[in-house]
Amino acid sequence: LFTDAARAESAHTHGVAALLRRHFAEELKFLKRSLKLPPLLKRQTVYFGGQDQIAAQLYQSVTQALLHRPVLTAADYHARLTELAALKIHQCGQDLRDAVIAVVEAHHEARCRIAAVEQRRIAAPVVGRFLQTLKDELTRLMPDNFVRLYDRQRLLHVVRYLRTVSIRVERGMVDLEKDRARQAQVTPFIEHLQRLMQSMDAGTSMQKRAAVERFFWMIEEYKVSLFAQEVGTDGPVSAKRLKQLVGEIERMI
């Protein structure tokens, strides 16, 4: 027995998942095979620990969504068995897999464009700083656990942000001053985001955490609007809207 309700609920959910794993053992074996990435992506996945690491995260994400449910009665458990049987478990996760592949390819394209400029060995320090800024962008957008971190819908947006980085490499090398001017419009919001994240602690409300995350992604949309308008933003975005959101966040607990 647990003295803490949250721990009890977590343990129960894991227990239900264990029972479902045992019941659908064969289907889960086929699922694991179906989520493997194509061999041609070997180079593209090296930044994230390789194909096996990404496939393992895919499997964890899909099984988490399928099996980890707060089922409390025998009737609900048997109803879930019926639902999972009808779903054809081995076919689940294909949309997520396709989204992950698209992100991996877009990330690799951006890395290749940066590497192509580096190979030209341009001595100007300003070029080195520009490229390092973009590499930092890629690292921040694509952490090692990005498959577990982002759902399918978020991955579709991340592809746009990665394309923006690729476009920025080409345009920046044509006119670095223009890129620096546009980056100067983004920098105050990035710095404010960093301060917000540093100020959060265990007492920060879920509402504020969600708003800070929204602010994070709105900054990415703002970059699209500044550096690669043809990629298109997910709705209207502007410096004014970012400032308004900052004001809302600062009034939250």
Residue 143 has what pLDDT?
Answer: 95
pTM, two decimal places: 0.91
- CA dist 85 and 79 (Å) reads 10
- CA dist 151 and 142 (Å) reads 13
pLDDT single digits (tens) 140-169: 999 999 999 999 999 999 999 999 999 999
Residues in the chain: 253
What does the angle CA 197 – CA 198 – CA 204 come to, to the nearest 5 degrees? Answer: 65
Average pLDDT score over the chain: 95
Give yes or no for a contact between 106 and 166, defined as CB atoms under 8 angstroms apart.
yes
Whether the per-residue pLDDT at 125 is higher than 90: the answer is yes
pLDDT single digits (tens) 57-109: 999 999 999 999 989 999 999 999 999 999 989 889 999 999 999 999 999 99
Whether the per-residue pLDDT at 1 is higher than 90: the answer is no
- CA dist 200 and 164 (Å) reads 29
Task: Give the residue ranges of DSSP H helices in the chain.
Answer: 5-23, 25-34, 51-67, 74-87, 94-118, 125-141, 146-149, 152-174, 176-199, 206-227, 239-250
Average of pLDDT values for 43-56?
A: 95
Using pLDDT thresholds of 50, 70 and 90, give the confidence band for residue 185: very high
Give yes or no for a contact between 221 and 234, defined as CB atoms under 8 angstroms apart.
yes
Using pLDDT thresholds of 50, 70 and 90, give the confidence band for residue 253: confident
- CA dist 103 and 162 (Å) reads 8
- CA dist 217 and 211 (Å) reads 10
For the chain, the farthest-separated pair of C-alpha atoms sits apart, in whole angstroms, at 70
Using pLDDT thresholds of 50, 70 and 90, give the confidence band for residue 180: very high
Instruction: Enter the tokens of residue 21.
Output: 């794993």
Residue bearing the bigger pLDDT, 1 or 83: 83
